Amino acid sequence: MTVTVLVGAQWGDEGKGKLVDLLAEQAELVVRYQGGNNAGHTIVRGGETFAFHLVPSGVLHEGTLCALANGVVIDPQVLRREVEGLDEAGIDVRDRLRISPQAHLIMPYHVALDEAREMAAIAGERRGAPANAIGKDSAVIGTTRRGIGPCYADKTARRGVRVEDLFDTEHLRTRISAALGETNVLLAHYGHEGFSVDAVFDQIVAHAEFFRPFVTDVGALIERIAERGGNVLLEGAQGTLLDIDHGTYPFVTSSSPVAGGACTGAGIGPGRIDRVIGVAKAYATRVGAGPFPTELFDHVGDQLVDRGGEFGTTTGRRRRCGWIDLVALRRAAQVNGLTELAITKLDVLTGFEQIGLADTYDVGEATETAWPTLTADVLRATANVEYLPGWTEDIDAARSLDDLPEAAKVLLRRIQDSVGVPVTFVGTGQDREAVITLDLTPVAR
Ligand code: GDP
Ligand code: IMO
Ligand code: MG
């Protein structure tokens, strides 16, 4: 009988998919409210691995409705492939999928532009072009090259193509023509061939009948289910520190993964939301460029990559790894209004002699406990890492706090106390069964 928002509290890949799969058992509806197929949400069940990029991670529960709300950007080809893949796996989502007519479509020229910009930035860096405005890092964002940024840019510029445009062919042609007028100039700037209106129109209109049966007012659907006492789960993609406003701009994605984004991205009011669960790894990772104060550049970072299997679900890129950053997590708690914390991948820390965490940053001469006001200060911040003792016992089979070694409990308590939000889930392995579920009473002392 609740509406729950589940958000990434770090830089994405926190293990949101697994938590959504777990919570979806009790949910009538799971809704994606932002992002697109830049997301990669992995679920492991009894040794079988599923990775979803667009379809909500609740899809494995046969009775659960799955919706892509207005805030999502949809690459039609990718969605079709995902639905067909589910068909092949014997999971019927066609009766359960709902799509907002106001969701925007990722067009082939968005993908081309994303790719062209990244390539140009990389080439510029090789030539020694000046670094971007903030000065310390490069102009390369390291996007997933899925067309996300250009699609959201067109949305905001009122030049986008929405799902509902598929059903009015003349209007669709006009929309594509208007967008391509400018986009082809940009593509030419990057030395990329332009797109013809006819070719894009033919490619896109071919998806109209695929989309038609799914079109639903998703906000109204959430309202109906919540009104009659059903559970709704809003699944965030990416993470708080990749948020277009609250993340480490410009090294961010182009949408609002934070809990507030669930309101605009799904069409519900803030008063509808009962729980906000922030998901964080027991350490930290980041894919792509941008500040990461607790990043490890030594063999300990390599060990986290190896033991945590830290390679991207979407692009296969090696994830940068570091210790858990409590300054950043406090920021995530504040920005999202977290009511609960889920700490994942605690098992990955087994075997480390000591476990680092950062509770403060040094910024110039000052020691700060709060997230720096200026992004430039996040870039120059040095995390003050302190160490807690590690443990050697395998914790994969732990299903209650009592099954954990004392050192693991000390770490969880420290995270909870420092962030000021109760830890209600602890991930102890990749499989969906490998989790400790706690109530809202703080981790026992
Ligand atoms: P998401 O994008 O937040 O859904 O996360 P990803 O799926 O991209 O990456 C998280 C990875 O960690 C996936 O391979 C998960 O199967 C895995 N994972 C999630 N929770 C745990 C956990 O508690 N322990 C371990 N070992 N792996 C986990
Ligand atoms: P999930 O939902 C981790 C990162 C990219 C890049 C930046 C911008 O699996 O947690 P974009 O393609 O969105 O324009 O790229 O954001 N990024 C993610 N990092 N997890 C994700 O999703 C991500 N989606 C985008 O690596 O740095
Ligand atoms: Mg991911």
- Containing 262, the helix (H) or strand (E) segment is helix 259-266
CA 258 to ligand 3 centroid distance, Å:
16
Of 30, 317, 344, 399, which is best to mutate to test ligand 1, by the most ligand atoms within 8 angstroms of its C-beta?
344
Q: Residue 158 Cα, ligand 3 centroid: separation in angstroms?
A: 29
Quick one: which atom of ligand 1 is closest to the CA of 44? Answer: 16
- Report d(CA 70, CA 162) in Å as an integer: 9
Q: What is the pLDDT of residues 315-351, one digit of tens each?
A: 889 999 999 999 999 999 999 999 999 999 999 999 9
- Ligand 1 centre from 166 Cα, in Å? 36
pLDDT band for position 138 (50/70/90)?
low
Q: Whose CA is nearest to atom 23 of ligand 2?
A: 238
For residue 368, what pLDDT band results from cuts at 50, 70 and 90?
very high
Is 246 a known active-site residue? no
Quick check: 324 and 283 in contact, CB under 8 A?
yes
Q: State mean pLDDT over 414-427.
A: 97
User: Closest ligand 2 atom to the C-alpha of 257?
Assistant: 2
Amino acid at residue number 337: G
Taking residues 139-148, report their average pLDDT.
Answer: 93
Band (132; pLDDT cuts 50, 70, 90): very low
Judge contact between 4 and 233, C-beta under 8 A.
yes
pLDDT-above-90 percentage for the chain = 92
Determine which of 136-145, 192-201, 418-427 has the lowest per-residue pLDDT on average.
136-145
Q: What is the pLDDT of residue 312?
A: 87
Compute the distance between CA of residue 136 and CA of residue 195 in angstroms, rounded to an integer.
36
Residue 102 has pLDDT above 90, yes or no: yes
Indicate which atom in ligand 1 lies nearest the CA of residue 41: 4
For ligand 2, the distance from its centroid to the CA atom of residue 193, given in whole angstroms, is 27
Mean residue pLDDT of the chain comes to 94
Q: Candidates 22, 281, 311, 345: which one to mutate for ligand 1, based on the most atoms within 8 Å of Cβ?
A: 345
Pocket of ligand 1 (CB under 6 A): 8, 12-18, 40-42, 44, 313, 344-345, 347-348, 427-430, 434
> Does residue 137 surpass a pLDDT of 70?
no
Q: What is the pLDDT, as a whole number, of residue 124?
A: 81
Q: Assess contact for 175 and 84: CB atoms under 8 A.
A: no
Catalytic hit among 21, 41, 61, 75: 41
**What domains does the chain contain, in order, with CATH numbers?**
3-98+216-437 (3.40.440.10), 104-213 (1.10.300.10)
- Helix (H) / strand (E) element for 50: namely strand 48-52
What mean pLDDT do residues 295-316 have?
94
Write the pLDDT tens digit of every residue in 191-216. 999 999 999 999 999 999 999 999 99
What is the DSSP annotation of 416-427? HHHHTS-EEEEE
CA distance 154 to 36: 15
Query: How confident is residue 362, by pLDDT bands cut at 50, 70 and 90?
Result: very high
Task: State what percent of residues in the chain have pLDDT above 70.
Answer: 96
Q: What is the pLDDT of residue 128?
A: 65
Asked if 63 and 241 count as a contact pair (C-beta separation under 8 A), the reply is: no
Two structure tokens written together for 375? 């992004």
Taking the CA of 344 as reference, the closest ligand is: 1
> With 50 as the cut, is the pLDDT of residue 445 above it?
no
Per-residue pLDDT, 439: 78
At residue 134, does pLDDT exceed 90?
Answer: no
Pocket of ligand 2 (CB under 6 A): 8, 11-13, 38-41, 141-144, 146, 148-149, 237-239, 242, 253-254, 287-288, 313
Residue 442 has pLDDT above 90, yes or no: no
Quote the ligand 3 centre to 441 CA distance (angstroms).
29
Whose alpha carbon is nearest atom 19 of ligand 1?
Answer: 15
Q: Tell me, what's the pLDDT at 129?
A: 55
pLDDT given at position 315: 85
Active site residue 21: no
Answer whether residue 48 shows pLDDT above 50: yes
| pLDDT tens-digit readout, 387-396 | 999 999 999 9
Whose alpha carbon is nearest atom 1 of ligand 1? 13
CA distance 284 to 433: 23
In this structure, are residues 322 and 301 in contact, taking their beta carbons and an 8 Å threshold?
yes
Q: Give yes or no for residue 275 having a pLDDT over 90.
A: yes
Which residue, judged by its Cα, is nearest atom 13 of ligand 2?
253
State the pTM of this model: 0.96
